[in-house]
Chain A
Amino acid sequence: MKLDLRLPIGLMFTIFGAMLTVFGLVSGDAIYGRSLGINVNLWWGLVLLAFGLVMLGFAIRAGRKQDSKA
């Protein structure tokens, strides 16, 4: 299997995280009534972003190791 699964996982969650974080910053407070007044887009967006970047980091490091071996 040539595809390191951490790459698409990391990429996808980095995109989702960035989208939600930005959306959380620009969206007004009005839509957060149902989430108990918490700007969950911003906070959870940051969590997803961190998760995505960590996965990407692992994938890139593993990729480098593979290259240096070959």
Chain B
Amino acid sequence: MQHIQLGAIDYAILIIYFAFVLGIGWVLRRNVRSSEDFFLSGRSIPTWIAGLAFLSANLGAQEVIGMGASGAKYGMMTSHFYWVGAIPAMVFVGIFMMPFYYGSRARSVPEYLKLRFDEKTRGFNAITFAVMTVFSSGISMYALAKLLELVLGWSFHTSVVLSALIVLAYIFLGGLTSAIYNEVLQFFLIVLGFLPLVLLGLKDVGGWAGLTTKLETVATNAGYSAGAWSHSWRHLEAASANPMGVEWFGMAMGLGFVLSFGYWCTDFLVVQRAMAAHSMTAARRTPLLAAIPKMLFPALVILPGMIAIALHTTRGGLLPLGADGTPNYNLAVPVMLAHYLPTGLLGLGLTALMASFMSGMAGNVTAFNTVWTYDIYQSYIKPGQSDGHYLKVGHAATVFGILLSVAAAYATTRFNNIMDMLQLVFAFVNAPLFATFLLGMFWRRTTGHGAFFGLLTGTMAAALHHGLVLPHGAVAGLKGGFLGAVLHTYPSEMAQNFWTAIYAWSACFAATIVISLFTRRKKSDDELKGLVYALTPRLTDHELAWYKRPATLGVVVLGLTLVLNVIFW
């Protein structure tokens, strides 16, 4: 595997970028004191920035590295994360969920759960959310450490320590004060840094036609029919017919419904971006407009992975092998950068990657700090202390969060595709939460006890399923099977995750309904106004011209997505 050689111009680009990040933070600090200020005083930012921020809040390391890795490991089926998952979910958020969020008093998921249900549901969610942020930041840390390993040639251990120090410095220098602005800057950096890579890669393999020919070799070598890597739907009739090892039901229900809707509807890191828009209509239009560029992202993030696996197989040995003998798909994108980009453009590509890792980590560590300090420590462990006390606890929590992330980064080394690990975490946290949200918003009879024990049941169902099954070729432990007996072996980690999510969602959904029917509702209709669909005044879009209405936009977006699904069937 080739090491990346950097020139002076590459370092110059990296340094200039960070000068801009810190400079923007410095300029903004005079106007904005905290992220809290930003959101409350906000609601004034132009729609195009809200839309781009909405997109880029999610275009982090996990998307760039994870989708590239999935493109290599699972081929064109990875596009389902967009064309079945993200886009329909974004339309749903824009049309149905945003009126709630924008209109309600809640600013975060725990806050919504407290207003809608009770204290214990909020506490449970705060804990699972804290776990999720640690894993997310650990995954970004792993990716940054791998990149440093590749660029500097240092060992993984040294690189992890260095990554941890970089993040610590980034947070304490105030890299987050301008989070939204940085994200938009990063968005352009990633798009403009990766586009030349995709164009060069496509030219090299002979365009889409050349790529599919090469992917036929990949597919037949792996024992599938020739088109398994280059079609999104054609090989979904049976789990054994495609590299993801999932049939259409597991895909549509697990990924399309539970995981994607769960992620887009309940991830406030993303939802808050739309809430910063200047009016309800603009807030609803934000995810819908963002969906249009989003549906083209597979070309930017999945395609490099598909090209990498095609070259790996037909020209030999592009990707390094992991301890278990499988290629480390996580390196597909960094290796492609090193393969095609000369010094100069290489600096731009690497800066884009590093920027996204760092902000991904910093965002998650800060979220961990907030949830731990205010939603757990202040609420349950030591209430009623001075502000200074909580500030100190917050600083300690940041350091502690980074240490936990280091542990999570080591756990990530066990996965040859970070997207497999990320969706595993989502299956435990977001999947049951989405059932709670759906019932809480659309069924006023849902009680606090129902929500709490439903969430608990859902999370336990996820653990039970995960503990009794294994993906093909894995040993019991982090990847499942830890309950002793292995009842089923899934063809891939992703298939296992989809089913874990389905069981977790269904268990939570059923348990919440049953328990709610047997417990008494404590909140009056009046208290639930703005929190439950039936008790919230309907929005009418009649004052808008028909073509400006969110519903029209949603139909157009879904139509275009359908076309993409058919083209790459």
- The answer to whether the Cβ of A20 comes within 8 Å of any Cβ in the partner chain is yes
Task: Contact check, B184 vs A13: say whether CB atoms are below 8 A apart.
Answer: no
Task: Contact check, B44 vs A27: say whether CB atoms are below 8 A apart.
Answer: no
Which of A19, A32, A34 gathers the greatest number of chain B CB atoms within 10 Å? A34
Q: Contact check: which of A5, A12, A40, A48 meets B17 at CB < 8 Å?
A: A12
- The answer to whether the Cβ of B200 comes within 8 Å of any Cβ in the partner chain is yes
Task: Contact check, A34 vs B341: say whether CB atoms are below 8 A apart.
Answer: yes
User: Complex formed: what's the CA distance from A45 to B17 in Å?
Assistant: 16
- The answer to whether the Cβ of B16 comes within 8 Å of any Cβ in the partner chain is yes
Task: Contact check, B185 vs A20: say whether CB atoms are below 8 A apart.
Answer: no
**How far in angstroms is the closest Cβ of chain A from B297?**
19
Q: Which of B224-272 contact A (CB under 8 A)?
A: none
- The answer to whether the Cβ of B204 comes within 8 Å of any Cβ in the partner chain is yes
Task: Contact check, B344 vs A20: say whether CB atoms are below 8 A apart.
Answer: yes
In the complex with contacts A23-B344, A36-B200, A16-B13 CB distance below 8 A: yes
Task: Contact check, B341 vs A3: say whether CB atoms are below 8 A apart.
Answer: no
Proximity string of chain A (14-38) to chain B, C-beta cutoff 8 Å, 1 when within and 0 when not: 0110011001100100011011101
Task: Contact check, B45 vs A13: say whether CB atoms are below 8 A apart.
Answer: no
- The answer to whether the Cβ of B203 comes within 8 Å of any Cβ in the partner chain is yes
Name the A residues within 8 Å of B16 (CB-CB).
12, 15-16
Task: Contact check, B28 vs A3: say whether CB atoms are below 8 A apart.
Answer: yes
Task: Contact check, A1 vs B344: say whether CB atoms are below 8 A apart.
Answer: no
Closest to A11 in B: B20
Name the B residues within 8 Å of A45 (CB-CB).
344
Task: Contact check, B341 vs A35: say whether CB atoms are below 8 A apart.
Answer: yes
In the complex with contacts A12-B20, A16-B348, A5-B49 CB distance below 8 A: yes
Task: Contact check, B200 vs A38: say whether CB atoms are below 8 A apart.
Answer: yes
In the complex with contacts A19-B13, A35-B200, A51-B192, A3-B345 CB distance below 8 A: no
Interface size of A in residues (CB-CB distance below 8 Å):
29
User: Complex formed: what's the CA distance from A27 to B9 in Å?
Assistant: 11
Task: Contact check, B348 vs A20: say whether CB atoms are below 8 A apart.
Answer: yes
Q: Which of B11-59 contact A (CB under 8 A)?
A: 12-13, 16-17, 20, 23-24, 27-28, 31, 42, 44-45, 49
In the complex with contacts A8-B23, A34-B339, A13-B188 CB distance below 8 A: yes
Task: Contact check, A40 vs B185: say whether CB atoms are below 8 A apart.
Answer: no
Which of B184, B203, B348 gathers the greatest number of chain A CB atoms within 10 Å? B348
Q: Contact check: which of A13, A32, A35, A40 meets B192 at CB < 8 Å?
A: A13
Task: Contact check, A3 vs B342: say whether CB atoms are below 8 A apart.
Answer: no
Task: Contact check, B17 vs A1: say whether CB atoms are below 8 A apart.
Answer: no
Closest to B185 in A: A9
Which of A3, A5, A9, A47 gathers the greatest number of chain B CB atoms within 10 Å? A5
- The answer to whether the Cβ of B196 comes within 8 Å of any Cβ in the partner chain is yes
Q: Contact check: which of B339, B343, B345 meets A44 at CB < 8 Å?
A: B345
**How far in angstroms is the closest Cβ of chain A from B569?**
31
Closest to B342 in A: A31
Task: Contact check, A27 vs B344: say whether CB atoms are below 8 A apart.
Answer: yes
In the complex with contacts A1-B44, A19-B13, A31-B343, A36-B204 CB distance below 8 A: yes
Task: Contact check, A32 vs B342: say whether CB atoms are below 8 A apart.
Answer: yes
- The answer to whether the Cβ of B170 comes within 8 Å of any Cβ in the partner chain is no
Name the B residues within 8 Å of A31 (CB-CB).
342-343
- The answer to whether the Cβ of B390 comes within 8 Å of any Cβ in the partner chain is no
Name the A residues within 8 Å of B185 (CB-CB).
5, 8-9, 12
Name the A residues within 8 Å of B184 (CB-CB).
5, 9
Proximity string of chain B (171-207) to chain A, C-beta cutoff 8 Å, 1 when within and 0 when not: 0000000000100110010001000100010011000
Task: Contact check, B31 vs A19: say whether CB atoms are below 8 A apart.
Answer: no
- The answer to whether the Cβ of A65 comes within 8 Å of any Cβ in the partner chain is no
User: Complex formed: what's the CA distance from A38 to B345 in Å?
Assistant: 12
Q: Which 4 A-B pairs have the closest CB atoms?
A: A41-B344, A31-B342, A44-B196, A23-B344
Apart from A12-B16, A12-B185, A36-B204, what are 18 other A-B pairs with CB-CB below 8 Å?
A2-B31, A3-B24, A3-B27, A5-B49, A5-B181, A8-B24, A9-B184, A16-B13, A19-B12, A23-B9, A31-B343, A34-B340, A34-B342, A36-B340, A38-B200, A40-B345, A41-B342, A51-B188
List A residues at the B interface (Cβ < 8 Å): 1-3, 5, 8-9, 11-13, 15-16, 19-20, 23-24, 27, 31-32, 34-36, 38, 40-41, 44-45, 47-48, 51
Q: List 10 A-B contacts (CB under 8 A).
A: A3-B27, A11-B20, A19-B9, A20-B345, A31-B342, A35-B342, A41-B342, A48-B192, A51-B188, A51-B192
